[in-house]
Structure 1
Amino acid sequence: MGGTLRVAVLGAPGVGKTAIIRQFLYGDFPERHRPTAARRLYRPAVLLNGAVYDLSISDGGPGPAPAPAAGPAAAPAAAAASAASSSSASASSAAASAATSAASSAGDGGLQELPDLKDWSLQDMDAFVLVYDICSPDSFDYVKVLRQQIAENRPAGAPEAPIIVVGNKRDQQRQRFSPRRALAVLVKKSWKCGYMECSAKYNWHVVLLFRELLSSILARGCKHSHPAIRLQGALHPNRCSLM
């Protein structure tokens, strides 16, 4: 046995957190959305690189909201835009505009159901999956605040837990609020997190997501490379099977 790996799947209501988990575990997709009223825990076993791991997946439910984060929400997007190439400047600008729009709606209730990380003991998690809807700028801003809270609540001296930001509903690509490249640059360069997109409805990149997640947890012992760098290259040599 390889041990127990604890993962928290978090995001705004309706972005598809439970749908992603159910596709990975059972290969099904609920056509009708039923809000997750309380925190749920799934305990599958997975086989990765010849070792069996007990996976504890926490499916986040709603909780009380904190005060909105201080400062302009577009600042991280601006930093990402300056780091991107000139050919992606306009796309990065679109990401900044989307973040600003989401921040303005946060004060009107856009972040009403942000979970209380202290009450959930998420400091003990080995990794986080932060899910947003690629058609909803509000859900992306929600993920931004979640990431900030995870960093602030991590105990001093505790190993850094890998974070993957996941854009769900890729099947609705035409309705997305910002180009994929702009968001990926922002998440990887400014947030220092992994980034990928998936479709829970069509089971596209769902298994890939969990394979990358597990590989990033196991690669955490490599001290000479950044977590975001380890995330992006950890997949291809590994095989992951649900038991």
Structure 2
Amino acid sequence: MSLRRNEAFLISRKTTVLIPKLDLDYLERGGGGTLAVGGTPSVEPSPDSLDLVKVVLLGAPAVGKTSIIQQFVWSDFSEDYLPTDKKHTFYPSVIINEHLYEVKITDVPVIPYFPINSYYEWAHYRFYGLRNATAYILVFDLSNVETFQYIRTLRDQMVESRDMRNVPVLVVGNKQDLLCSAAPTAASGLQQLAMAESACGDSREKRRNIVNLVRKHWKCGYVECSAKYNWRVIAVFKELMEMIDALECSGGVRSAEPPPDASATTHENRCVVA
């Protein structure tokens, strides 16, 4: 028995569904979108479950946070931009290196600042679960690198206001398909072509600086993708789950003492989403 890739993995409240298993390695290699279905029914995991991985996506307006989630969960993309006006949650189950994780992916409206304490979170972002997230995905628009400044400020506020030890952070550059896509026409002339090439060069330099900052100074993961064309969307969540799994395997305790160097942990990474 099989389900098509565009059928929802979302486990809705008070609803029992069959668990479709998705091999992310296979999809990354371009193996198509067929899902094998297990025979065991499942329900939405309890919010208090010790195995629940709480992932929150944050970013500036219109960078594609919701589109990334919808491509991952439903293989769906909408050209219409509808600002997120309330919290939405999704509950896929992920198997990586034979470890089963129940994942809660939270999509929230754009926040002007990260709450500095529990009081501010309760007063302004009630039920968002910002301060107790297991991991964060910070999204910016590759075609508008100014949107990176938003997540840079947000990340600084996060570091100052909560214990970020053993809390994985993945920075995602979305809209890879728009990079230098405005190619000049034949009527544009050599001057227009030179201007376009110069703009692409400036963009590449800014991206290099961003990658250097994120990977070398923040010590965070970094992935570029296109939610519109479903390029490397699977890689986004695979990268995040590998970070979480490496932390678990190295003996780290979430929001506790720093774990041993995760880079010293060597094992073959396999990832399946159920």
When the two structures are superposed, what TM-score results if normalisation uses the length of structure 1? 0.69
**What is aligned with 2:168?**
162
Two-structure CA RMSD over aligned residues (Å): 2.5
Structure 1 counterpart SS, 2:203: coil
The reply to whether residue 32 of structure 1 matches residue 59 of structure 2 is no
**What is aligned with 2:203?**
178
Residue pair 1:19, 1:29 contacting (<8 A) in 2 also? yes
**What is aligned with 1:152?**
160
1:67-216 mapped onto 2 (5 Å cutoff): 114=113, 116=115, 118-119=120-121, 120-155=128-163, 159-174=165-180, 178-179=203-204, 180-216=207-243
Deviations 1:171-227 (CA, angstroms, capped at 9, x unpaired): 01116763233221121122221111011011111111101101101212432326x
Quote the Cα distance in structure 2 between the aligned partners of 1:41 and 1:143. 21
Moved more, 122-131 or 8-17: 122-131
Which one has a bigger Cα radius of gyration? Answer: 2
Shift of 1:115: 5.5
**What is aligned with 1:19?**
67
Question: How many aligned positions are there?
Answer: 187
The letter of the residue matching 1:237 is E
Structure 2 counterpart SS, 1:219: helix
**What is aligned with 1:241?**
272
Structure 1 counterpart SS, 2:55: strand
Deviations 1:105-136 (CA, angstroms, capped at 9, x unpaired): xxxxxxxxx45475144221111100000121
Quote the Cα distance in structure 1 between the aligned partners of 2:74 and 2:135. 22
The structure with the greater share of residues assigned to helix is 1
**What is aligned with 2:260?**
224
Shift of 1:2: 8.7
Deviations 1:34-82 (CA, angstroms, capped at 9, x unpaired): 110112111111222233221001112133x3xxxxxxxxxxxxxxxxx
Moved more, 9-18 or 32-41: 32-41
Residue pair 1:9, 1:17 contacting (<8 A) in 2 also? yes
Residue pair 2:139, 2:151 contacting (<8 A) in 1 also? yes
Identity of aligned residues (%): 39
Quote the Cα distance in structure 2 between the aligned partners of 1:2 and 1:206. 27
Structure 2 counterpart SS, 1:54: strand
Residue pair 1:167, 1:198 contacting (<8 A) in 2 also? yes
Structure 2 counterpart SS, 1:19: helix
Quote the Cα distance in structure 2 between the aligned partners of 1:116 and 1:178. 32
Residue pair 2:142, 2:176 contacting (<8 A) in 1 also? yes
Deviations 1:144-169 (CA, angstroms, capped at 9, x unpaired): 011112112214xx743011111000
The list of structure 1 runs, each at least 4 consecutive aligned residues, that deviate by more than 6 angstroms after superposition, is: none
Q: 1:178 to 1:186 in 2, by over 3 A?
A: farther
When the two structures are superposed, what TM-score results if normalisation uses the length of structure 2? 0.62
Residue pair 1:62, 1:115 contacting (<8 A) in 2 also? no
Shift of 1:8: 0.7
Q: 1:213 to 1:128 in 2, by over 3 A?
A: same
The reply to whether residue 57 of structure 1 matches residue 105 of structure 2 is yes
Q: Structure 2 unaligned runs (5+)?
A: 1-48, 122-127, 182-199, 251-258
The structure with the greater share of residues assigned to strand is 2
Quote the Cα distance in structure 2 between the aligned partners of 1:169 and 1:237. 30
